[in-house]
Amino acid sequence: MDNNTQTVERAPQQDRAAKEREPALLPPVDVVEDGNGILLVADMPGVSKEQLHLRIDSDTLTIEGEVSLPSAQGLQAGHAEVQLPRYRRSFTLSKELDPSQIAATFTHGVLEVRIPKAAHAQPRRIEVTVD
Give me the tens of pLDDT residue by residue for the chain, a chain 131 residues long. 444 555 555 555 566 566 667 788 899 999 999 988 999 999 999 899 999 999 999 899 999 999 877 777 777 777 776 677 899 999 999 999 999 999 999 999 999 999 999 887 777 788 999 98
Domain-located, residue 89: yes
Q: What is the pLDDT of residue 122?
A: 74
Domain hosting residue 106, numbered range: 4-68+85-121
106, part of any domain: yes
Give pLDDT, residue 94: 92
DSSP state at residue 97 = B
Q: What is the pTM of this model?
A: 0.72
Q: Residue 90's pLDDT is what?
A: 95
pLDDT at residue 2 in the model: 46
Domain count, the chain: 1
Q: Residue 111: inside a domain, yes or no?
A: yes
pLDDT of residue 1: 42
- Whether 77 is covered by a domain: the verdict is no
In a domain, 110, yes or no: yes
Classify 5 as helix, strand or coil.
strand
Domain CATH for 53: 2.60.40.790
Rounded Cα gap, residues 12 and 105, in angstroms: 24
Does residue 131 lie within any of the structural domains? Answer: no
Is position 16 within any domain?
Answer: yes
